[in-house]
């Protein structure tokens, strides 16, 4: 079965926006917010489901994307993968599989079981799950006319709410002079990526920042969606503005505060180092041109973090490779070698590992928007 890339992109954008709506409504409704930030301890925790409400929020967004994709493209159901398990188990051994049901009332009934009879919360969440969402995609689609992919040849990675700690904390982050927030709700991203099962390369990516900008008049958060397509020779994305107003004196490099001191020291003289929460947000900053690269030497990101942003980076002429491969290889300006080094999403980097570890990006990551920038980074690390 073939599916048009334009139709697939529209579906991904709409489902990501629906997920972002869930993320926003949880933080805007007092009852849901209390559930989100409540810390259950002792007997109170044992009497409820083992996983807490923040896990349910993640799972619900994930299952909304899964449901909406499967509803339009039934054959893709077995090829959709996410960060979270959708099975909840309570203290007496009862298990409930969280899935979006055929009707709103059925979904309310299921969520009521998970939420210990909290009908208000179940009703609000089910309403959003069954809401029809249509996002107007401006520009770019004309280049996708006639472009198709075989449903049997694609898989999907979902990161429902990247940067969960920032989501729960709820801070209104402050942007620095470069336009980046080091922490806060701005760092939360809903990520969906489509990859080729045979090559492992990403094809279509969507990032949705539910809390991109705070409107002080309406006291509401406004989101932002960025998408990119890299299928065959077709490269197109939603980015329309120049990434920066003027050339930089030094490359801007994003890192985690937990990055090794040796790695940080190697860049500090030649680059301007910045720090931010969330792998998805740091990748997004590179995509937007707020940073020239995001560098991580540790194996602490996952396929669901990277697949969507990687597709957008490829659509820009950039990419995502492992930090270790950049250390080990002599690039010599070779486009072919760099293509071969791109992170893959169709197999584990750690065969034999269990759980989430099998889907980590082994050897760290380096996100870049041009081959020239990648060569600059290579010169620094040697």
Q: How far apart are CA 198 and CA 66, in angstroms?
A: 21
335 pLDDT band (50/70/90 cuts)?
confident
76 is written with which tokens?
């893709």
The DSSP code for 257 is T
Query: To 10 degrees, what angle do helices 119-129 and 104-114 make?
Result: 140
pLDDT of residue 378: 93
Considering only residues 146 and 177, tell me which one the structure prediction assigns the higher pLDDT.
146
Q: CA of 344: how far to CAs of 101, 120, 303, 350, in Å?
A: 33, 42, 8, 12
Largest CA distance in the chain: 62
- Residues of the chain with pLDDT > 70: what percent? 92
Asked whether the predicted pLDDT for residue 159 surpasses 70, the reply is yes
pLDDT of residue 353: 85
Mean pLDDT of 149-178: 95
Chain segment 53-75, per-residue pLDDT in tens: 778 889 999 999 999 999 999 99
Asked whether residue 162 is marked as a ligand-binding residue, the answer is: yes
Mean pLDDT of 281-286: 98
CB atoms within 10 A of CB 344: 18
Q: Is 313 exposed, middle or buried (0-12, 13-18, 19+ CB in 10 A)?
A: buried
Q: How far apart are CA 71 and CA 132, in angstroms?
A: 13
Of 67-81, 107-121, 123-137, 320-334, the one with minimum mean pLDDT is 320-334
pLDDT of residue 84: 86
Asked whether residue 159 is marked as a ligand-binding residue, the answer is: yes
pLDDT of residue 123: 96
User: In which residue are the tokens 């490359």 written?
Assistant: 251
Mean pLDDT of 3-18: 98
253 pLDDT band (50/70/90 cuts)?
very high
CATH number given to 252-381:
3.40.190.80
Asked whether the predicted pLDDT for residue 350 surpasses 80, the reply is yes
333 pLDDT band (50/70/90 cuts)?
low
pLDDT of residue 55: 82
Q: How far apart are CA 258 and CA 77, in angstroms?
A: 37
Sign of CA dihedral 55, 58, 61, 63: negative
Mean pLDDT of 271-279: 96
Mean pLDDT of 351-363: 90
pLDDT of residue 241: 65
Residues with catalytic annotation? 58, 83, 159, 161-162, 164, 305
Give the 3-state secondary structure percentages of the chain, helix then strand then coil, rounded to 5. Answer: 40, 25, 35
Mean pLDDT of 205-214: 98
315 pLDDT band (50/70/90 cuts)?
very high
Q: Is 123 exposed, middle or buried (0-12, 13-18, 19+ CB in 10 A)?
A: middle
pLDDT of residue 128: 96
Q: Looking at mean pLDDT, say which of 112-116, 336-340, 359-363 comes out highest.
A: 359-363
Mean pLDDT of 372-379: 92
Beta partners for residue 293, in sequence order: 253, 368
Chain segment 189-199, per-residue pLDDT in tens: 999 999 999 99
Q: CA of 131: how far to CAs of 19, 126, 127, 229, 259, in Å?
A: 11, 9, 6, 26, 41
The CATH classification of domain 2-237, taken from the options 3.30.540.10, 1.10.3720.10, 3.40.50.1220, 3.40.190.80: 3.30.540.10
3-class DSSP state of 46: helix
Asked whether the predicted pLDDT for residue 231 surpasses 80, the reply is yes
- Secondary structure E strands in the chain: 2-4, 80-82, 87-89, 95-97, 148-150, 154-162, 189-196, 202-215, 220-231, 234-237, 252-255, 272-275, 293-296, 319-321, 365-368
Mean pLDDT of 217-230: 96
Beta partners for residue 319, in sequence order: 368
35 pLDDT band (50/70/90 cuts)?
confident
Q: How far apart are CA 82 and CA 88, in angstroms?
A: 15
**HEC string for 59-95:** HHHHHHHHHHHHHHCHHHHHHEEECCCCEEECCCCCE
* pTM, two decimal places: 0.94
Q: Where are the domains of the chain?
A: 2-237, 252-381
Asked whether residue 305 is marked as a ligand-binding residue, the answer is: yes
Asked whether the predicted pLDDT for residue 249 surpasses 60, the reply is yes
48 pLDDT band (50/70/90 cuts)?
very low
60 is written with which tokens?
């619900």
DSSP secondary structure string for all residues of 285-313: HHHTTSSSEEEE-SS--BHHHHHHHHHHH
Asked whether the predicted pLDDT for residue 41 surpasses 70, the reply is no
pLDDT of residue 246: 58
- 251 touches 295 (CB < 8 A): no
CA proximity to 6, closest of 182, 193, 145, 104: 145
What integer best gives the mean pLDDT of the chain? 90
Asked whether the predicted pLDDT for residue 218 surpasses 80, the reply is yes
């Amino acid at each position: 079965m073939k599916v048009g890339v334009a139709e697939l992109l529209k579906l991904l954008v709409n489902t990501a926006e629906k997920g972002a709506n869930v993320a926003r409504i949880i933080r805007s409704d007092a009852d849901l917010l209390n559930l989100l930030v409540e810390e259950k301890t002792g007997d109170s925790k044992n009497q409820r489901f083992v996983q807490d409400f923040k896990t349910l929020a993640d799972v619900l967004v994930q299952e909304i994307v899964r449901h909406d994709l499967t509803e339009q493209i039934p054959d893709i159901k077995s090829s959709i993968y996410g960060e979270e398990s959708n099975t909840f188990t309570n203290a007496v051994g009862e298990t409930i599989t969280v899935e979006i049901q055929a009707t709103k009332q059925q979904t309310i009934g299921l969520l009521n079981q998970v939420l210990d009879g909290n009908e208000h919360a179940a009703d609000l969440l089910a309403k959003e799950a069954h809401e029809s969402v249509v996002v107007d995609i401006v520009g770019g689609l004309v280049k996708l006319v006639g472009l198709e992919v075989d449903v049997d040849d694609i898989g999907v990675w979902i990161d429902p709410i990247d940067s969960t700690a920032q989501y729960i904390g709820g801070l209104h982050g402050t942007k620095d002079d470069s336009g980046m927030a080091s922490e806060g709700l701005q760092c939360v991203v809903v990520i969906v990526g489509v990859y080729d099962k045979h090559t492992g390369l990403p094809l279509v990516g969507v990032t949705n920042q539910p809390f991109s900008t705070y409107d002080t008049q309406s006291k509401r958060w406004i989101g932002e969606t960025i998408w990119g397509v890299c299928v065959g020779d077709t490269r197109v994305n939603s980015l329309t503005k120049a990434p920066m107003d003027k050339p930089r004196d030094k490359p801007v490099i994003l890192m985690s505060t937990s990055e090794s001191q040796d790695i940080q020291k190697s860049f500090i003289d030649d680059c301007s180092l910045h720090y931010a929460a969330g792998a998805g947000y740091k990748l997004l900053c590179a995509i937007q041109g707020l940073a020239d690269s995001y560098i991580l030497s540790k194996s602490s990101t996952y396929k669901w973090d990277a697949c969507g942003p990687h597709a957008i980076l490829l659509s820009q002429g950039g990419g995502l490779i492992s930090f270790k491969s950049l250390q080990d290889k002599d690039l010599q300006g070779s486009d072919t070698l760099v293509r071969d080094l791109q992170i893959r999403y169709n197999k584990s980097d750690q065969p034999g590992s269990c759980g989430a570890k099998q889907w980590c990006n082994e050897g760290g990551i380096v996100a870049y928007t041009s081959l020239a920038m990648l060569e600059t980074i290579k010169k620094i690390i040697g």
